[in-house]
Amino acid sequence: MISDENSIALEKQSQEVFTLASVYTVGTAEQYQFAAEELKNIKAGMRAAEKMRKEATGPLDAAKKTIMDWFRPIEDRYAQAETKIKAAMLTYQKEQERQRLISEAQAKEAARKEQERIDAIALSQAEKALENHDTEAANAIISAVPTVRAAPIPLAVPKIAGISTREIWKYRVIDAKLIPDEYKIVNEKMLGEVARSTKGALAVSGVEFYSETTMAGSRQ
């Protein structure tokens, strides 16, 4: 809370100026001149407030900077260590997933071959039944053929409490010219720089440059 006399006086002055500005109008040359003088007073008040603020917060900012500078390398080392360990764990996990997919493919291939073997035996038995004109037996043989399925291959990565992975989709631009318009963002910073530097002399398709009149306050 503001407590010293200078700060209290400045606080009161800012309230008075704000109240005056809220209802202020300019209708004569004298009022215009008075308004210009008032702008000077406002600028002076703003500078005084900024000076007081910096005097009050300067020591705090310096102390905070010292503390932040001390902790920063510690936090950076922890962050880098975390990144390295996570990368090593993800590398292991990806390798285990690669091996799992290979084993899964091998199991599916073995199941396919076993299915072919069983189907061939059943077909041979059904054909013999048909040769004996036993259609019912042939149909029963075919219907009884079991479906061979490969057993699921679990991922050989231990589950640890508090550790999990998730898939995050990202993007990379391959050819900027092929990107649809709805995915493009107007470079407002560049357009603003062009407007200020050329004062609208440079034509840009789809853009209208214009000017607005503002009043700069006195620096006195």
Best-predicted range by mean pLDDT (8-12, 194-198, 212-216): 194-198
Residue with tokens 């209802």, as numbered in its chain: 23
Residue-level pLDDT at 161: 87
2 — pLDDT class (breaks 50, 70, 90): low
State the virtual CA torsion across 213, 201, 194, 208 in degrees, nearest 10.
70
Is pLDDT above 70 for 3?
Answer: no
At residue 56 the predicted structure's pLDDT band, cuts being 50, 70 and 90, is confident
Query: 84-98, 112-126, 160-174: which has the minimum mean pLDDT?
Result: 160-174
**Exposed e or buried b for every residue in 68-95, given b needs 16+ CB within 10 A?**
eeeeeeeeeeeeeeeeeeeeeeeeeeee
Tell me which of 155 and 92 has the higher pLDDT.
92
Q: Is pLDDT of 1 > 70?
A: no
Q: What does the block give as tokens for 111?
A: 């199941």
Domain chopping of the chain, boundaries: 5-152+169-198
